[in-house]
Amino acid sequence: MNLHEIYGDFQGKVVDRDEVEPEHFKSWIEWGKENNMKLDFNSTSFSHPKSGDLSLANPDEGIRNFWIEHTKRCRAVAEEMGKAQGDPCIMNLWVHDGSKDITVNRMKYRALLKDSLDQIFATEYKNMKDCIESKVFGIGLESYTVGSNDFYIGYGAKNNKMITLDTGHFHPTESVADKVSSLLLYVPELMLHVSRPVRWDSDHVTIMDDPTMELFSEIVRCNALDRVHYGLDYFDASINRIGAYVIGSRAAQKCMVRALLEPIAKLREYEANGQGFQRLALLEEEKALPWNAVWDMFCLKNNVPVGEEFIAEVEKYEAEVTSKR
């Protein structure tokens, strides 16, 4: 489970972002152990009086140092989480920095962001991993984003950092799947934020749509199962929240099952032999192969509802638990 810094257990005290300590997440760490749940982490640069349009790229030294200190402390928290759970805690770094209208200081802000990152990553840890996340634009910051895809790819490749690919952070016609094979040649690992963008970064519930199936297929085709981490990134409050969680989780798992069952050896044989007709024909037939039977058996073996049976389980939970809160 991925936590933002703002979800710390501050015991009713006011703790500013540059004062956060591992102790503020002690109860979360204990909860994770009790529930066999590993934790990942995020710094939080938004929703604060010092957020504005610029945080780590802010030319105001006081504000920039505030956010540098915040992010350094978040990495220290992630290190303690990873140490306690015996598994690296992945800390994602995304900042909203940008401009609503035309800027003539693109290089200046990016140089500041690079310097901030250099300071933040100066301390090396053994029990946490860093990943850096780009975006095309943010609401209210439509004309310029400091942490663009090009910026973070360059920084990640140069500094051996994990790159985060959020499926909602690119142009709607871009293929996020196509980025996997390119990036894995230059960076050690990838983090995915799997969402369903509808008109950009709208974070609808993940479903078995073509982009998600293509993304998971590409990971398997790249033999990168041990180099890619998967995070589901959606928060659709228009439907039952437990139901949304279950639909998205099962959709991602189905996409992976389907990808693992692809007759890749035969497809590659056709491609190597220049048999384009045969390759396309098998790709089409693959769509109707009974992968769902494998999925149903997987559910049975793991004692979870098969097919739409989970709907009744969610409705029961809503009636007996959530409706009484």
Among all residues, which ones are annotated catalytic? 94, 133, 135, 166, 169, 193, 201, 203, 233
Task: Residue 287: count other Cβ atoms within 10 Å of its Cβ.
Answer: 9
Separation CA 91–CA 40 (nearest Å): 6
Separation CA 29–CA 37 (nearest Å): 9
Residue 68 exposed, middle or buried by CB count within 10 Å (0-12, 13-18, 19+): buried
Residue 24 one-letter amino acid? H
Residue 48 exposed, middle or buried by CB count within 10 Å (0-12, 13-18, 19+): middle
Task: Residue 298: count other Cβ atoms within 10 Å of its Cβ.
Answer: 14
Separation CA 17–CA 307 (nearest Å): 44
Residue matched to tokens 């693992």: 260
Calculated CA dihedral for residues 150, 151, 157, 158, nearest 10 degrees = 140
In sequence order, which residues have a C-beta less than 8 Å from that of residue 134 and are 6 or more positions away?
145, 147, 148, 149, 151, 152, 153, 164, 169
DSSP count for the chain of H helices, then E strands: 11, 9
Are 8 and 25 spatial neighbours (Cβ–Cβ below 8 Å)? yes
